[in-house]
């Protein structure tokens, strides 16, 4: 039978050749050409589909096939010899800890696709690369790369799409985060800190959500966070702190939801917060302090409510608070303090209720508090002190009840008589301190 099948195949092949070469097959040739063209078109379409698949699959892990080698429980690596037991392992159900080792790379982890718990790679002073993690797609817990001082890039994480809890990258020598180009979400916080060579966050263009805090701090060379442009939600806090070279927050303009605080503190070059225009409410605090180049809060113009404290302090060149004109309610303290150039509080004129204290302190150029004139309710103290140019407090007249302390003192050009007029109109539930105002 095999011989017969072979013979039939040979005859079929010869018939095909005669159909192509024979003069009698002109019509057949035309049909064949037509079929060939059709095949060619089909091939072209197939190629196009293949190209599309290639783009889609650019974040597929470099897997070695179906995972059949699973290590159950936690595993701690102290040196290269410990990797022998991990050869061919594609899943670790618990934690993988690689701390305080002399390793220069992670050779031996090339098959690893999943870590069910935490993957912590910390305090490995000689670690230069993590390329052996190229098959890794997910971690169920933390992914921590902390204090690996020689680590030059994160390219080995190029297949990681999801981190179940926190992603921490601190104390490295990386200049970019291109190795995180497939990351779409973290279950908890995302932190970049003390990476002194880090220039930008361009590799995070697929990131859309951070489960808890987004913390960017103490990256001395960081000038650009526009790689975060697809980020829309932060579960808890947005923290931008001690970024010496960052001039703006472009990249955060897509954020419409923050679950807790915004804290923007001690960023020496920051001039504006324009990229925060998508924020309409904050459940907890807004803190903008210690930004000496900040001249504009216009990016906050859509903010209407602050659930807890609103604290604007020690921004040396800030001339006004106009960007806060949409705020109507502050659930905690309203603190405006330590400004050299602040000329008025008109940007606060929409506020009617403050749940905690009102504190206006040490604003050297502030002549009046007229911007507070619509506040009718204060939950705790009212404090106005150490304002060297303050001459008028008529803006306080809407506040007729102070439940706790009333302190208007150490305002050297504010006439005591003005203070006395106001005090006669207000009911104070606690201590009154009215000393060291001008004797007039």
Predicted TM-score (pTM) of the model is 0.85
CA 33 to each of CA 21, 22, 40, 65, 159: distance values in angstroms, whole numbers, following the listed order: 13, 15, 10, 41, 45
Q: Which domains does the chain carry? A: 59-165 (3.80.20.20), 269-440 (3.80.20)
Q: Collect the ranges in the chain with pLDDT lower than 50.
A: 1-57, 64
| pLDDT (0 to 100) of residue 62 | 54
Structure tokens at 280: 């309409």
| pLDDT (0 to 100) of residue 60 | 66
Question: Do the Cβ atoms of 161 and 138 come closer than 8 Å?
Answer: yes
pLDDT in tens, 27-84: 333 343 434 343 434 444 444 443 433 344 467 655 545 677 999 999 999 888 888 7
| pLDDT (0 to 100) of residue 85 | 82
DSSP structure string for 61-81: ----SS---EE-S-EEE-SGG
CA 67 to each of CA 64, 83, 167, 337: distance values in angstroms, whole numbers, following the listed order: 8, 18, 25, 59
Contacts of 31 by beta carbon, 8 Å cutoff, 6+ apart: none
d(CA 203, CA 226): 10
DSSP structure string for 201-235: -GGGTT--EESS-EEEE--TT--B-GGGTT--EES
CA 376 to each of CA 19, 315, 372, 421: distance values in angstroms, whole numbers, following the listed order: 98, 27, 9, 18
pLDDT in tens, 158-179: 999 999 999 999 999 999 999 9
| pLDDT (0 to 100) of residue 67 | 74
| pLDDT (0 to 100) of residue 292 | 98
Q: Is 88 left (phi over 0), alpha (psi -120 to 50) or beta?
A: left
Structure letter (DSSP) for residue 286 = E
Closest residue by Cα to residue 394 from 413, 414, 377: 414
Within the chain, how many helices (H) and strands (E) appear?
A: 3, 32
């Amino acid at each position: 039978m095999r011989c017969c099948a072979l013979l039939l195949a040979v005859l079929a092949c010869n018939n095909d050749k005669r159909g192509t070469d024979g003069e009698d097959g002109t019509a057949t040739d035309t049909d064949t050409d037509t079929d060939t063209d059709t095949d060619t078109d089909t091939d072209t379409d197939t190629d196009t589909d293949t190209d599309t698949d290639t783009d889609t699959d650019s974040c597929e892990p470099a897997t070695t096939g179906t995972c059949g080698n699973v290590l159950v429980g936690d595993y701690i690596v102290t040196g290269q010899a410990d990797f022998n037991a991990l050869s061919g392992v594609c899943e670790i159900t618990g934690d993988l800890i690689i701390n305080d080792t002399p390793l220069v790379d992670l050779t031996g982890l090339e098959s690893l696709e999943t870590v069910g718990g935490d993957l912590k790679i910390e305090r490995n002073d000689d670690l230069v690369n993590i390329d052996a993690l190229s098959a890794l797609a997910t971690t169920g817990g933390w992914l921590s790369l902390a204090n690996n001082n020689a680590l030059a890039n994160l390219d080995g994480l190029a297949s990681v799409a999801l981190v179940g809890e926190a992603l921490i990258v601190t104390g490295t020598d990386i200049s970019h985060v291109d190795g995180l180009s497939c990351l779409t979400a973290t279950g908890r916080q995302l932190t970049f800190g003390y990476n002194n060579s880090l220039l930008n966050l361009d590799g995070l263009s697929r990131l859309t959500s951070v489960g808890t805090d987004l913390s960017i701090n103490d990256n001395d060379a960081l000038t650009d966070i526009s790689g975060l442009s697809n980020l829309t939600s932060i579960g808890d806090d947005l923290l931008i702190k001690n970024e010496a070279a960052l001039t703006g927050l472009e990249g955060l303009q897509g954020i419409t939801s923050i679950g807790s605080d915004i804290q923007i503190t001690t960023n020496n070059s920051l001039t504006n917060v324009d990229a925060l225009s998508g924020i309409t409410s904050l459940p907890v605090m807004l803190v903008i302090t210690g930004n000496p180049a900040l001249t504009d809060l216009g990016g906050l113009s859509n903010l209407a409510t602050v659930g807890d404290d609103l604290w604007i302090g020690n921004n040396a060149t800030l001339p006004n608070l106009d960007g806060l004109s949409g705020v109507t309610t502050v659930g905690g303290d309203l603190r405006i303090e330590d400004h050299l150039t602040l000329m008025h509080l008109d940007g606060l004129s929409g506020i009617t209720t403050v749940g905690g204290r009102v504190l206006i302190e040490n604003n050297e150029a502030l002549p009046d508090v007229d911007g507070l004139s619509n506040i009718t309710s204060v939950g705790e103290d009212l404090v106005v002190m150490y304002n060297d140019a303050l001459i008028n407090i008529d803006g306080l007249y809407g506040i007729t009840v102070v439940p706790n302390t009333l302190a208007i003192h150490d305002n050297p050009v504010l006439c005591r008589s003005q203070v006395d007029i106001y005090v006669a109109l207000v009911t104070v539930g606690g201590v009154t301190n009215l000393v060291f105002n001008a004797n007039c």
